[in-house]
């Protein structure tokens, strides 16, 4: 990645790397969302605008569900903000990648909006391999390709709603979290792996106990346990971080 000597090359490299599993998964997931939005009565215009402005599948699903229920605007805004709150730690952990980039820091607000699971993972793994002054160009090429694939998926799902079984569209929606789970399970850094395993164990019973708060409580409990166990068992967890 060090050979990206110009911004156009960096943009093209980002596009090329996105045109694979990342774009394909977003296209499939957003196809399911487009079908779901059509079922809930959203117009095509609102479905596409929801994708562009929210750009987070859980937040988009909350938006569609609350809209379908006729919830007031403030409830929709708070619901979407709560669902997409997970992007805050992701953004904080990714912004240092652009620390040495020469762009105006005001652009970071725009870059933060483009962050998704795919772009976050891509930049944390490959960002350090790219020259600092080319990272923004690479990120824009990668993220815009992913967003374009998502928009095309929404359009396809919306149009094919009548011929797409609901089970299939819901399966498409869950492809992205499954992909993210596979990425996290691929790490051999013990605290991360422990948090992932504990999440798989605690997730189902917590959802049965309280469907509304099960996901939040699972993340809080398992993340805290992984953190505490890391410091309680330094001999086991004091290993060098390596990504498989």
Instruction: Give the domain ranges of the chain.
Output: 7-173, 187-244
pLDDT at 168: 73
Closest Cα to residue 169, out of 156, 186, 185?
Answer: 156
pLDDT at 189: 63
User: Can you read off the two tokens belonging to residue 68?
Assistant: 């379908």
- With 0-12 / 13-18 / 19 or more C-beta atoms within 10 angstroms meaning exposed / middle / buried, residue 26 is buried
pLDDT at 151: 94
Q: Which residues of 129-154 are buried (b: 16+ CB within 10 A; e: fewer)?
A: ebbeebbbbbbbbbbbbbbebbbbbb
Contact 136, 8 (CB under 8 A): no
Which single residue is written with the structure tokens 């669902």?
83
- How far, in Å, CA of 75 to CA of 62, rounded? 10
Please report, in tens digits, the pLDDT of each residue of the chain (244 residues total).
555 667 788 899 999 999 988 888 888 888 888 888 888 888 899 899 989 999 888 888 888 888 888 888 888 888 888 888 878 888 888 888 888 777 777 888 888 888 888 888 888 888 888 888 888 899 999 999 999 999 999 999 898 877 777 777 667 767 666 666 666 655 556 677 778 788 888 888 988 888 777 877 888 888 888 888 776 655 554 554 444 4
- How far, in Å, CA of 145 to CA of 23, rounded? 7
pLDDT at 15: 93
User: Can you read off the two tokens belonging to residue 147?
Assistant: 């967003």
- How far, in Å, CA of 187 to CA of 196, rounded? 10
pLDDT at 141: 93
């Amino acid at each position: 990645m060090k050979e990206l000597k110009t911004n156009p090359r960096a943009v093209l490299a980002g596009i090329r790397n996105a045109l694979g599993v990342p774009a394909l998964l977003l296209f499939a997931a957003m196809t399911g969302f487009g079908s779901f939005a059509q079922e809930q009565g959203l117009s095509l215009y609102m479905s596409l605008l929801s994708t562009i402005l929210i750009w987070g599948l859980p937040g988009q699903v909350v938006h569609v569900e609350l809209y379908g229920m006729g919830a007031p605007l403030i409830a929709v805004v708070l619901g979407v903000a709560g669902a997409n709150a997970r992007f805050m730690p992701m953004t904080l952990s990714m912004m240092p990648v652009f620390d040495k980039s020469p762009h105006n820091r005001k652009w970071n607000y725009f870059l933060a909006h483009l962050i998704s699971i795919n772009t976050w993972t891509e930049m944390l793994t490959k960002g350090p391999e790219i020259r600092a002054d080319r990272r923004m160009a690479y990120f824009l090429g990668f993220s815009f390709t992913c967003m374009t694939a998502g928009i095309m998926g929404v359009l396809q799902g919306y149009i094919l709603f009548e011929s797409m079984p609901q089970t299939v569209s819901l399966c498409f929606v869950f492809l992205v979290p499954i992909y993210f789970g596979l990425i996290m399970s691929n790490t051999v850094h013990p605290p991360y792996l422990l948090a992932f395993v504990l999440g798989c164990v605690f997730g189902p019973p917590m959802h049965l106990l309280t469907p509304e708060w099960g996901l939040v409580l699972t993340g809080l409990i398992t993340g805290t346990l992984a953190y505490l166990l890391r410091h309680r068992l330094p001999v086991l967890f004091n290993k060098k971080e390596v990504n498989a």
